[in-house]
Structure 1
């Protein structure tokens, strides 16, 4: 049993949003009490005390769209031109994934999960690609997640860009992992059916994906209308817009994650809204790739569940939180927008998306919730309360301020030290493996 106390508690529970001097009590993988520190410290005097020292205690953060393998591109010199989104894909990302071995996949997972934990992220929904070392890749990433102690939902992005045989292997990889995760019936690991994007998938492959998924209610994980190329290809080759075409193959369902949804019209949003699927907004990636600004605020207004992801751009979800807020103000030339929608995406909608994946309550500090808890090194210099806490998070906190991270009742980092693996040794090996990958370019 643990008691997190002597800190300011942000619960994300609207019935009890903030405690100035609060405590959270954990037994096994669940939160069993939340309240005033002076009361709970007496009531649970035998619990191991995690002293926040006046800092902020809050739920672990969630990333609903990640590319773990992208970590091996950090610092890499890009020789080929990357003047537009198509060239970024062809000359960077599709070369990175083609040069990933299973060992590369494994150590990119170690590196990314460490980065996530050190930025207070306790749940990751990942979208993987390694076409020339595809089989066993999801299990490899899943085993690293289990070893390091982070919650993960995994999928492989099926695509026709590397040929029919690799597309078939991608379908099989997804289904095998979904079967394994479903049988495991864990709230720490789950599987989705990944696909790259409509413009890299033929009707024949989409049909095969649909047929493979018929026995399962797991969702799809797919990039939707991210760049204009996706829309242009869909109209030119298939005579339909992206969402319309994908809808013909039953892609949009309640557990599906439709990533980006930038170049969509009102009719396509009708389809998405009716399906009750989830959209994930990735502001930094969209800006970096110059693909446009998502109509995320409009989608939220329509009642579409829009979560927040990083698309591999960062592991710091509080960085994405800040960029979301300013991007939409800038794009709409309106400083009054995004104050409510931004925290809704990160703290409310991400939690609901994860609940569909794992059937558990995470991202909230309340009795019965999963014990995913972080301590942030933030001491406010103005009053913090239940009405202004999102402003404190926006302007005062950063992911790297995470001091301690607990996932599912297990301490995985304490006082900035990773407890479940040898961080220094693992990252040294990751540097070796990534350097070899760079040479293969």
Structure 2
């Protein structure tokens, strides 16, 4: 049995001091240090905060290979960003580059305390088998949890996209599962949506919706309806579907999302970076839509998005109290609940019966810290200078004293070689 000792615990619900945590793959017991029964393997957590492993509810692992990529880039609108950068990159990815981008992305997630991710993948050279490569790198080799899908789009072979999503979604474990991925309304014809609708069953979808006004305009001009209405008309808004962004949806669309039991994944930092606007959380709250936080593949440190969503929503909603720390906690817990439900496990708490997905972050509170103000300390003190010391997933130590337990140098070296091949293919295309 393993144990964390002298632990100050905050798990987005409760705050406890001077505790021990007994665990193997699951947390077996949490108690006061005065009653610590001993353990075979002990990690001293003095002067740290113990928290659940963090989650990223919408990302693009393949964005790893965009770092430093030299392509002609002078976008005038969002479509140009896709054409000049992202679609050049994903169109040249094969299985090997998918695998190594996954290893690098996963390593950097572990360094920033992220133990579970929901990924939206695309790779033009190899569609079939690409999700298995992601699972292998993220879940099998690194030990993280991942929910994956392939971004079906008319840019690719539709039958291969459909087969890849359906085949991968057939199997699941406490470490991985599949959704049915689609890019966005503007890259999916009626024929494609009809095809998907005929085979998808009750598999939840994962799709970008109204990220930019381009997507909205395209749908109205071609189909004379809103994006969410279009998806609903094809019967694609399955329960537990992830509708990412929703920057430019209206109230009718919000109501449809709520009625069908879908979730919205908000990505504030990416939205600001792409200058597409910011979603209206007040409308989402009005219709009681469960919202989660993602980063859209912009880096790996999800705490940046935790910070930015608070600041951005205060500005977007034009009021310093229109979005507060309780709203953020609610969104974070929505993410834990969603991943727990999809994978069939309990994550997101430091309690008996929950998976031992945990991180420690050094923190010396300069003012008193208690159950009433713990998240204020975490938000303004810990997230602002976030550097976890240790990371566990299912009780496996993935990082100890800031050092990963895998051969990082070898992984990064091989990833660099694969990235160079991808860049060469892009420039030769």
TM-score, L = length of structure 2: 0.96
2:236 to 222, 231, 251: 251
Superposed, which structure 2 residues align to 1:33-52 within 5 Å?
33-39=29-35, 41=36, 43=37, 45-52=38-45
Q: Which runs of 5+ in 2 are unaligned?
A: none
1:201 to 181, 188, 193: 188
**Hey, what does 1:25 align to over in structure 2?**
22
**Hey, what does 1:136 align to over in structure 2?**
129
How far does the alpha carbon of each residue in 1:320-365 deviate from its partner, in whole angstroms, 9 at most, with x for none?
Answer: 100111111122231123212122212x111111122112111111
Which deviates more from structure 2 when the two are superposed, residues 92-101 or residues 17-26?
17-26
**Hey, what does 2:148 align to over in structure 1?**
154
- Residues 46, 355 of structure 1: CA spacing in aligned structure 2 closer, same or farther, 3 A cutoff? closer
Instruction: Give the Cα separation in 1 of the matches to 2:250 and 2:283.
Output: 11
SS at 2:355's partner residue? coil
Instruction: Give the Cα separation in 1 of the matches to 2:141 and 2:41.
Output: 23
1:412 to 390, 393, 398: 398
Matched, 1:64 2:51: no
Check conservation: 1:372, 1:408, Cα contact below 8 A.
yes
- Residues 318, 51 of structure 1: CA spacing in aligned structure 2 closer, same or farther, 3 A cutoff? same
Matched, 1:127 2:113: no
TM-score, L = length of structure 1: 0.93
**Hey, what does 1:364 align to over in structure 2?**
349
Check conservation: 1:321, 1:343, Cα contact below 8 A.
no
Shift of 1:3: 1.1
Shift of 1:47: 3.6
2:279 to 272, 288, 294: 294
Shift of 1:296: 2.3
Check conservation: 1:9, 1:23, Cα contact below 8 A.
no
2:267 to 259, 282, 301: 282
Check conservation: 1:257, 1:280, Cα contact below 8 A.
yes
- Residues 225, 359 of structure 1: CA spacing in aligned structure 2 closer, same or farther, 3 A cutoff? same
SS at 2:334's partner residue? helix
Check conservation: 1:351, 1:362, Cα contact below 8 A.
yes
Shift of 1:377: 1.9
Instruction: Give the Cα separation in 1 of the matches to 2:42 and 2:103.
Output: 29
SS at 2:352's partner residue? coil
Q: Which runs of 5+ in 1 are unaligned?
A: none
**Hey, what does 2:169 align to over in structure 1?**
178
Matched, 1:7 2:7: yes
Instruction: Give the Cα separation in 2 of the matches to 1:267 and 1:86.
Output: 25
Instruction: Give the Cα separation in 2 of the matches to 1:212 and 1:102.
Output: 25
Check conservation: 2:149, 2:180, Cα contact below 8 A.
yes
Instruction: Give the Cα separation in 1 of the matches to 2:19 and 2:287.
Output: 36
**Hey, what does 1:261 align to over in structure 2?**
246
Matched, 1:242 2:227: yes
SS at 1:23's partner residue? strand
Shift of 1:435: 2.1
CA RMSD of superposed structures (Å)? 1.4
How far does the alpha carbon of each residue in 1:304-335 deviate from its partner, in whole angstroms, 9 at most, with x for none?
Answer: 10000011012111111001111111222311
Length, aligned pairs only: 423
Shift of 1:400: 4.6
